[in-house]
Structure 1
Amino acid sequence: MARLKIADNLDGEPQTAEELAVKTHTNAPLLFRLLRALAGLGLVRADEEKRFHLTPLGRTMRTKGDGAFGDFMEMFLGDQFLPWTKYVDAIRTGKTQFDQLYGVPYYEHLKKNPDERGRFVNGLKQMTKIFNANITDYYDFTPFKHIVDIAGSDGTFLINILKNVPHARGTVFDEEPSIEAAKKNVLDYPNVKDRLDFVAGSFFTDPIPAGGDCYTMKSALDFEDELAIQILKNIRNKMKSGTKFLVIQTVVPDTDEFHIGKLFDQYLFMLTGGKERTKAEAEHVLRGTGFELNRIIPTTYPLWDILEATAV
């Protein structure tokens, strides 16, 4: 539904399968059968003239607009999909199947495949858009003068913070393609652009920008232990003692209750060999790299908690 842009084309414009097939370059009879199945899932509904209408649930499958998650869903249909056909092999061997199938780790694969990188970046942007808009409702950034966002992508996360903290300045740190996107993105925010700097580099090996009194990073603990420790040590090297470090990601509960983080943990292993961590596991990795976990701030967004740590 996302890749064929069915939701985008039906948004505000009910159509028959034949009309929609022209716009989506699909086979009309098979498209009708697909739409009939989607109606059973509550994503579309058909009227008496066999025109299909987008439902509120179906609108989430758009690629643009408020509440759209189509790009996020399409992210899973690119090169991320094939490793799941080897899930049993992963469980038996303990080896990440993406590396086995493509010959390189996922992030190296992104550097060589711009289409896949585009799906990944756009998917993450949609996934974090709602959370980004509300970040200052969950955490008070007003005590800080210089905020550094590590792996800051196109800068949206930090831009939103700076909009709400007008006395602070910020630095986006990420690899070159993301930095170029961030430089373009900030032009739409005249009250922020003069307070935002950009540094290109890899959080694995390159020096992290110094001088911040608050550092943020989404999903810093998503990596397997060796890489997570490498990243955190690299970050800690440029921090003064007492500097705040905010890790934004899910914390998996120790109980048997359903939690989306437990499923995302499986996804991370299949893709990168990474993992989601419990509070105890997060504390262990942070303490071993020079940080003390102060508190965990839950949010209403199921994949994001805020782990506040201090460099010691």
Structure 2
Amino acid sequence: MTNTSEDAYRHIITESVAFLYPAALRAAVLLEVAEHLADEPRDVAELAKLTGANGPYLRRLLRFLASHGTFLEDEDGRFHLTPQADLLRADAPRSMRAGVLLVTEDGWWQSAAGLTEAVRSGEPAFERRFGQPIFAYLAEHPEHGPLFNAGMAAYSAGDIGYIIDGYDFPNDGVMVDVGGGRGGLLLAALRARPGLCGILLDHEKVLAGNLLPELGADDRWTLHPGDFFSSVPAGDFYTVKNVLHDWDDDQCVQILENCRRAMNPGARVLVVEAVIPPGNDPHFGKTLDIMMLTLLPGQERTQLEFERIFERAGFRITQVIPTPGNLSLIEAVPA
């Protein structure tokens, strides 16, 4: 018979120290352990020399990570890459190196530590701790920009295939990727639809690191430096991926209204976000919502909350498509 009291006790003990896993991931990334294991397994003595680390401390770090499936220690004491550990390499397909470094930066740790004050005040902890909103802070500290953009792209990249496979993208006209960052989604859409052209809208500093030259067809895409709160270029199909969750409802309405005003006749918009389901089951959107709460004025939303925003902006939702990843596809047309 299960002892529920004991299970609950063990659960809280385990989860209360869960922050140590991302801290260990960060240490492994900065020591470049995964890079040194890319060709062959190595023992701790070798790894310590290659990484400049203390051998006994390094072994304790890797033993802990191996208990989570990140690295594997064999019977001879050599450590191997696992599929999870491989993602820590900078040049790995779908590398999460930048993503791990981003979300374990001091500013993110401090914001998480300020969760109580955020809940009490109704204001993002980052803003209270650093004296300004996170995007204003990034503008004043451009040295953080490359990691922020690369980290966001790393977290975003894993869902792009699901988006392309899960939605019938047009094969003609102009797709406008609103706040599209480095253009990962637009690049994938242009590759999948050879008759489609695209416009990537974001701030000039972000666009400087765009991926679109990888397409090899420069006549099919255009960079549009700008601010989606001011205006959006004309187009036939709009994508707004992981943008609305950064902002409060009024700001989301403003972004969508700017899209609606710029749309060519017959255009539609595809918003890509986590949609929080009802009930108590775990969902990545609920975790991400706590991150938003500490960093930004936005939030993750339920379908009903999205419907209210779209209606205020003059849109009608036509379908909501879940994907196998963390995000859903919300299609809407002008009402």
1:157 matched residue in structure 2: 185
Q: Using the alignment, how far apart are the partners of 2:297 and 2:144 within structure 1?
A: 18
Structure 2: tracts of 5 or more residues without a match? 1-27
* 8 Å CA contact 1:240, 1:311 repeated in 2: no
1:255-276 CA distance string (max 9 Å, x none):
2222111111111111112101
Pick aligned residue for 1:231 from 255, 264, 267: 255
Q: Using the alignment, how far apart are the partners of 1:308 and 1:97 within structure 2?
A: 32
Q: Using the alignment, how far apart are the partners of 1:122 and 1:129 within structure 2?
A: 10
Please tell me the residue identity of whatever aligns with 1:167: G
The answer to whether residue 225 in structure 2 is matched with residue 200 in structure 1 is yes
Displacement of 1:143: 5.1
The answer to whether residue 260 in structure 2 is matched with residue 260 in structure 1 is no
1:57-90 CA distance string (max 9 Å, x none):
3223333322432322221111222111111111
1:61 matched residue in structure 2: 88
Secondary structure, aligned partner of 1:92: helix
The answer to whether residue 208 in structure 2 is matched with residue 180 in structure 1 is yes
- TM-score calculated relative to the size of structure 1: 0.91
* 8 Å CA contact 1:296, 1:308 repeated in 2: yes
Pick aligned residue for 1:214 from 228, 233, 237: 237
2:6 matched residue in structure 1: none
How well do the aligned residues superpose, as a CA RMSD in angstroms?
1.9
Deviates more, 1:267-276 or 1:140-149: 140-149
* 8 Å CA contact 1:241, 1:310 repeated in 2: no
* 8 Å CA contact 1:264, 1:276 repeated in 2: yes
Pick aligned residue for 1:76 from 89, 103, 107: 103
Pick aligned residue for 2:308 from 284, 292, 299: 284
2:16 matched residue in structure 1: none
Please tell me the residue identity of whatever aligns with 1:180: A
Matched length: 306
Q: Using the alignment, how far apart are the partners of 2:98 and 2:212 within structure 1?
A: 22
Q: Using the alignment, how far apart are the partners of 1:301 and 1:247 within structure 2?
A: 15
- TM-score calculated relative to the size of structure 2: 0.85
1:89 matched residue in structure 2: 117
1:158-216 CA distance string (max 9 Å, x none):
1211112111211111110222222xx333322x32110111011122x2111x11011
1:40 matched residue in structure 2: 67
Q: Using the alignment, how far apart are the partners of 1:82 and 1:287 within structure 2?
A: 37
2:54 matched residue in structure 1: 27
Pick aligned residue for 2:331 from 303, 308, 311: 308
Q: Using the alignment, how far apart are the partners of 1:160 and 1:56 within structure 2?
A: 24
Pick aligned residue for 2:129 from 84, 91, 101: 101
Secondary structure, aligned partner of 1:292: strand
The answer to whether residue 272 in structure 2 is matched with residue 248 in structure 1 is yes
* 8 Å CA contact 1:2, 1:71 repeated in 2: no
Secondary structure, aligned partner of 2:300: coil
